[in-house]
Amino acid sequence: MPTLVNYSGDDEFYSGGSFYPNPMDLGCMFSIVSQVDVYCPPSKRPRISAPFIFGRNELELDKKPSIEVLPDECLFEIFRRLDGGKEKSSCACVSKRWLMLLSSIRKAEICHELPVSNDVDMVTGDEDQDLESDGYLSRCLEGKKATDIRLAAIAVGTSSRGGLGKLSIRGSNSLRGVTNLGLSSIAHGCPSLKALTLWNVPYIGDDGLSEIAKGCNLLEKLDLCQCPTISNKSLIAIAENCPNLTSLNIESCSKIGNEGLEAIGRLCPKLHSVSIKDCPLVRDHGVSNLLSTASMLSKVKLQSVNITDFSLAVIGHYGKAITNLVLSGLQNVSERGFWVMGNAQGLQKLTSLTVTSCRGITDVSLEAIGKGCINLKQMCLRKCCFVSNNGMVAFAKAAGSLECLQLEECNRVTLSGIVGALSNCGTKLKSLTLVKCMGIRDMALGFAMPSPCTSLRSLSVRYCPGFGTAGLAMVGKLCPQIQHVDLSGLCGITDAGLLPLLESCEAGLVKVNLSGCFNITDDVILALARLHGGTLELLNLEGCRKITDASLVAIADNCLLLNDLDVSKCAITDSGVAVLSCAEQLSLQVLSLSGCSKISNKSMPFLEKLGKNLVGLNVQHCNSISSSTVELLLDSLWKCDILS
């Protein structure tokens, strides 16, 4: 074969002649190569990475890499023989086509055969290959970042870096949203996946989730929210292939119903937590089968589902392992359902119960729950409009282990019922919370003051507009050992009600929240600092417009342990900040001065001095502090998180 090129010692090509006028007429390449003059170094052979293409009048060089000519089947065979994660990641960066091909390779399809040599020890090139099954990596895609391409990249990139253990997809790109193809990439490349969250992904259906079930057998937690195309078929696939499933959350999935839940209960013996919300196809059949077969179930949440008294009877009978139960918006459950649940004597391990907007909770059913759930420690009732004083007192007598009681918007309960509950709750009640209970109003008791509740440590009465001075003084006498007080939003509270409370607290207050109590004055803070300065750690006075620098003086002199102080929207001036900065025994960590219009640039050196210990400072809406001063503070207090 005649020599195609001549060498002259230079790497570049030079023209040295011309082709025949019509080379295609010659019929073969050999008849023209002698006419081509190409100069290259004599030590090198010509490297032509693409074939010559003969046009009508000239010889052209095809610029397209030859490997792209290969069909997907050939590339697949090449890619599945790549040894290390670095090689796979490098190939994935070439093009979207290569990325999607790599992400389609299942673990079982990877070729692990390596050449063996007697002289040289072969190394795979993937030193962290043992980490593939650990699954300690976590990834989250939200909104427009959630696309199939990103999921494919995650599948390829995490396989050799410890393995993907947790994936969360929240929302979807409006133009290139996540589909079954992207989720299939995760299923193929991430067998170590243990937790999957899918929120508002309308284009992911049964095909994608079924692939997850087949490829991710270690899955333990599944959270589905607003997935309209996922049905029972997916849940059945999960149940059949993921025996390690421990947690299942389903919300607003219109195609998931009884069959899927039944399969989960039957085939997932390790399931201990389930939450079902707003799924119209879920009925008594699915819930009862799930609860009766999942023997290790300890946490159950049922919200806005179409179940009846029958399901609650099943809970009461079979829920022997349930410790935490949340029931909300069960409009078809009557008083009888809750009564049977309590009297069935199956909820012996139940420690926490939350009931919201259930008309079946009445005085009778509440007493039955108190008697049947002998280990109940935390009880929360929200918007239970049929619970009255009689029910509260009867429940307090029956629930001997109760430690925490919370009532929100239970408007039939009055101050008399609260006092009765406190006097009959036994010796274990530690926390009482009342929120937006319009029936709680100041009143004169028609009987003698009952014995005090010495076990109560925390009292929170928030946004109960009828609860005022008389009620607070009464509760203070009844609960002398409280240490945490939260009275936010009680605009009717005055010094006359707070002072007796402060004087009756024998154990020493630790946390006090008086935000929104705009009628209290410096007298209360002076008494608080004097009586409880040795124990006080947190004080919130946001919106108390009558609090002045005098309160800060008392705090600086007496509150040795205070680390969190909020005087936002108070009548504080630069002088008050100066007093705080001079208190050497005070070691504040969080200070909020938001909305204090009387604080100016003069406080700059005082804030710098306080900043030695501060980790949080809020000077938002302090209009007298200039932006340049704030910038100086940001520079000098670089360890402190400053809101401005």
User: What confidence tens digit (pLDDT) does each residue in 1-14 have?
Assistant: 344 333 334 444 33
Tokens of 339: 């009564």
pLDDT tens digits along 584-616: 888 899 999 999 999 999 999 999 998 888 999
Which residue reads 């049905």 in tokens? 231
Kindly state the tokens that stand for 529.
Answer: 């600092």
- Mean pLDDT is highest, among 6-15, 30-39, 466-475, for 466-475
The pLDDT, as a whole number, for residue 121 is 43
DSSP states along 335-378: HHHHHHHHHT---TT--EEEEES-TT--HHHHHHHHHH-TT--E
Is the model's pLDDT at 297 over the cut of 90? yes
Tell me the mean pLDDT in the region 456-464. Answer: 94
CA distance 72 to 83: 19
Q: Model-level pTM?
A: 0.81
321 compared with 147, residue with greater pLDDT: 321
How far is Cα 375 from Cα 274, in angstroms, rounded to an integer? 21
What pLDDT shows up at residue 89?
72
Q: What is the pLDDT of residue 442?
A: 82
Would the pLDDT of 361 be above 80? Answer: yes
pLDDT attached to residue 153: 85
Question: 3-state DSSP call for residue 136?
Answer: coil
Q: Give the pLDDT mean for 24-49.
A: 41
Per the listing, tokens 């947190």 go with: 538
Residue 58's pLDDT is what? 46
* Rounded CA separation 94/89 (Å): 9
Average pLDDT over residues 457-466: 94
pLDDT in tens, 169-226: 998 777 778 899 989 989 988 889 999 999 999 999 999 999 999 999 999 999 999 9
Q: What is the 3-state secondary structure (H, E, C) of 444-487?
A: CCCCCCCCCCCCCCEEEEECCCCCCHHHHHHHHHHCCCCCEEEC
* Stronger pLDDT, 136 or 311, i.e. the higher one: 311
Which comes out higher in pLDDT, residue 118 or 104?
104
Residue 487 has pLDDT above 80, yes or no: yes
Supply the pLDDT for residue 113.
58
CA 219/CA 239 separation, integer angstroms? 10
Asked if 343 and 372 touch (Cβ cutoff 8 Å), the reply is yes
Q: Please tell me whether residue 82 adopts helix, strand or coil conformation.
A: coil
* pLDDT for the residue numbered 15: 40
Structure tokens, 66: 């030859």
Considering only residues 473 and 141, tell me which one the structure prediction assigns the higher pLDDT: 141
Structure confidence by residue, pLDDT tens digits, 41-60:
444 444 444 444 444 444 44
3-state SS of 406-444? EEECCCCCCHHHHHHHHHHCCCCCCEEEEECCCCCCCCC
Q: How confident is the model at residue 63 (pLDDT cuts 50, 70, 90)?
A: low
- Model confidence band, residue 34 (pLDDT cutoffs 50, 70, 90): very low
pLDDT digit string (tens) for 216-275?
999 999 999 999 999 999 999 999 999 999 999 999 999 999 999 999 999 999 999 999
Stretch 400-425: mean pLDDT: 92
| Chain mean pLDDT for the chain | 84
